[in-house]
């Protein structure tokens, strides 16, 4: 029987262990943290819980508009953290993955200390556990990028939110990608004075330009200071009340101070401590573990999956990767990893939410003759009912084939709206086909059909009774 050791129990590692055991391998899963990895304990689940509280506070403030009298909401941060722990535990308790892993007889070593390679077939944990296997699957995820500059140790990451005892009165957030904007948005909602710094010309650089611009407007309107093109960080230093960031731009020096500085300037492979050299596993030019399409590393019996390989670093893709790596580790190179970027919805639970699937307008224009249709949230019944009128839904459609190439949404429930669009894109739907679907009324996803009607009209396509929908 093939012996498999999986290192790291995040979504990639758990799926890899599950699949390997399901295929009959004698499987051991070893992790330095808790079962579920960053996804369950430090990433999406707890961060989404914080974002939910931001939403609750916002909705509480809306009550007066609907005739319900209550006072100004006051956040008890300690109680909130206790609730986050409850949520994490409840999600863990309901994870069917843990039950399946146990039922299949996978040996799980949690909190075992960091594992490192002793040789190509042996890993040893800090706690002294030594494991030998025919095949090894590395699923150790990622870590925040650090800068080799003075005072960097004074900065924090999103993980430090769990160690705070109260909401900091002020916060610098450096890096306006998905993690940075979520931290900034959440703590802004909690009452911190947040300054968001972005080195590039726009926040959310991988989103459609219209979404980046709208997010910047919304963040500014909510009181956040947003500074694009801010320059280059030179150092951090301690102040009496927190931390100061020194930075320069065009030969001039500047500084900004706050109680806390959170740095979110990139996500890197967590390879430190793995001693990959002892196994001969190579990294690629981006310093992620180098794998081929079968997720095989430069060492034939060692595979890797999840954030550690640096491709589309999201939970569903980590799960898919774990499945593929384990399949190939047990059965030989059989199953390639096909990450279909064009049908992968992505978004963040900021205030307002934003999300996308498929091509941005700029990318689509390079390859296709396109039509775009934009529907403003303020013109749809459900957003008016809920008093959530900020935002829009933008559809990008190929003029020749009428197929949907991309969908970009900012505003309430953007992530859910884009899920529906992703299904349409994956199904290869024409925009007039989408326009004919009688989605429920009045819903947030309904905006998608109205945008589709608008695009179909622009293309001169018939959409039947739906054409009378105001678009």
Segment interacting with ligand FAD (CB under 6 A) among 136-144, 241-249, 337-345, 418-426: 136-144
Segment interacting with ligand FAD (CB under 6 A) among 25-33, 376-384, 390-398, 427-435: 25-33
> In DSSP terms, which residues pair with 196 in a beta bridge?
173, 226
Distance CA 238, CA 376 (A): 45
Would strands 267-269 and 260-263 be described as parallel, antiparallel, or unpaired? unpaired
Distance CA 259, CA 413 (A): 32
Is residue 54 near ligand FAD by the rule CB under 6 A? no
Q: Please, what is the minimum distance in Å from the beta carbon of residue 449 to ligand FAD?
A: 26
Among 39, 108, 131, 453, binds ligand FAD (CB under 6 A): 39
Is residue 10 near ligand FAD by the rule CB under 6 A? yes
Give, rounded to a whole angstrom, the gap between the first and last alpha carbons of the chain.
62
Could you give the 3-state DSSP secondary structure of residue 118? strand
Closest CA to 115 of 38, 37, 32: 32
Is residue 140 near ligand FAD by the rule CB under 6 A? yes
CB closer to ligand FAD out of 178 and 429: 178
Closest CA to 287 of 173, 168, 143: 143
CB closer to ligand FAD out of 38 and 291: 38
Is residue 84 near ligand FAD by the rule CB under 6 A? no
3-state secondary structure 310-356: CCCCCHHHHHHHHHHHHHHHHHCCCCCCCCCHHHCCEEECCCCCEEE
Is residue 276 near ligand FAD by the rule CB under 6 A? no
Is residue 164 near ligand FAD by the rule CB under 6 A? no
Is residue 8 near ligand FAD by the rule CB under 6 A? yes
Q: Please, what is the minimum distance in Å from the beta carbon of residue 274 to ligand FAD?
A: 5
CB closer to ligand FAD out of 198 and 432: 198
Closest CA to 354 of 297, 424, 408, 274: 408
Closest CA to 178 of 314, 289, 75: 314
Is residue 175 near ligand FAD by the rule CB under 6 A? no
Q: Please, what is the minimum distance in Å from the beta carbon of residue 179 to ligand FAD?
A: 5
Distance CA 232, CA 246 (A): 9
CB closer to ligand FAD out of 295 and 396: 295
Binding mask 307-326 for ligand FAD (x = CB under 6 A): xx----xxx--x--------
Is residue 43 near ligand FAD by the rule CB under 6 A? yes
Distance CA 213, CA 376 (A): 15
Residue ranges binding ligand FAD (CB under 6 A): 7-13, 30-33, 37-39, 43-44, 47, 114-115, 139-142, 158, 179, 270, 273-274, 306-308, 313-315, 318
């Amino acid at each position: 029987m093939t012996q498999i050791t999986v290192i790291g129990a995040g979504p990639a590692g758990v799926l890899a262990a599950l699949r390997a055991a399901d295929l009959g391998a004698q499987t051991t899963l070893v992790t330095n943290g808790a079962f579920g990895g960053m996804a369950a304990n430090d990433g999406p689940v707890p961060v989404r819980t914080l974002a939910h509280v931001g939403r609750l506070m916002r909705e509480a403030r809306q009550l007066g508009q609907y005739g319900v009298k209550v006072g100004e909401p006051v956040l008890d941060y300690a109680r909130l953290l206790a609730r986050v722990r409850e949520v994490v535990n409840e999600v863990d308790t309901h994870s069917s993955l843990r039950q399946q892993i146990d039922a299949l007889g996978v040996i799980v070593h949690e909190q075992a200390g960091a594992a490192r390679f002793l040789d190509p077939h042996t890993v040893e944990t800090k706690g002294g556990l030594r494991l030998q296997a025919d095949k090894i699957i590395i699923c150790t995820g990622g870590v925040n990028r650090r800068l080799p500059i003075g005072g960097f140790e004074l900065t924090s990451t999103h993980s430090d939110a769990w160690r705070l005892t109260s909401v900091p009165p002020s916060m610098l957030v450096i890096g306006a990608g998905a993690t940075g904007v979520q931290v900034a948005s959440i703590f802004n909602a909690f009452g911190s004075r947040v300054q968001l710094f972005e080195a590039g010309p726009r926040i959310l650089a991988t989103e459609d330009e219209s979404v980046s611009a709208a997010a910047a407007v919304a963040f500014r309107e909510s009181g956040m200071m947003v500074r694009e093109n801010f320059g280059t960080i030179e150092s951090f230093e301690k102040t009496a009340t927190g931390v100061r960031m020194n930075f320069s731009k065009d030969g001039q020096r500047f500084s900004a101070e706050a109680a806390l500085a959170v740095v979110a300037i990139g996500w890197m492979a967590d390879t430190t401590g793995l001693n990959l050299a002892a196994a001969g596993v190579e990294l690629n030019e981006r310093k992620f573990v180098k794998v081929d399409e079968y997720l095989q590393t430069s060492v034939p019996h060692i595979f890797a999956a999840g954030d550690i390989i640096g491709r589309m670093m999201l939970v569903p893709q980590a799960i898919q990767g774990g499945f593929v790596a384990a399949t190939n580790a047990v059965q030989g190179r059989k199953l390639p990893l096909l990450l279909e970027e064009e049908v992968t919805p992505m978004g963040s639970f900021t205030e307002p939410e934003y999300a996308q699937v498929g091509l941005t307008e700029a990318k689509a224009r390079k390859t296709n003759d396109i039509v775009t249709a934009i529907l403003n949230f303020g013109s749809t019944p459900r957003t008016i009912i809920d008093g959530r009128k900020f935002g829009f839904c933008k559809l990008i459609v190929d003029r020749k084939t009428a197929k949907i190439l991309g969908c970009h949404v900012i505003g309430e429930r953007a992530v859910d709206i884009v899920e529906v669009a992703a299904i349409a894109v994956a199904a290869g739907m024409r925009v007039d086909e989408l326009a004919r679907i009688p989605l429920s009324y009045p819903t947030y996803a309904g905006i998608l059909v109205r945008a589709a009607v608008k695009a179909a009209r622009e293309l001169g396509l018939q959409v039947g009774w739906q054409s009378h929908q105001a678009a």
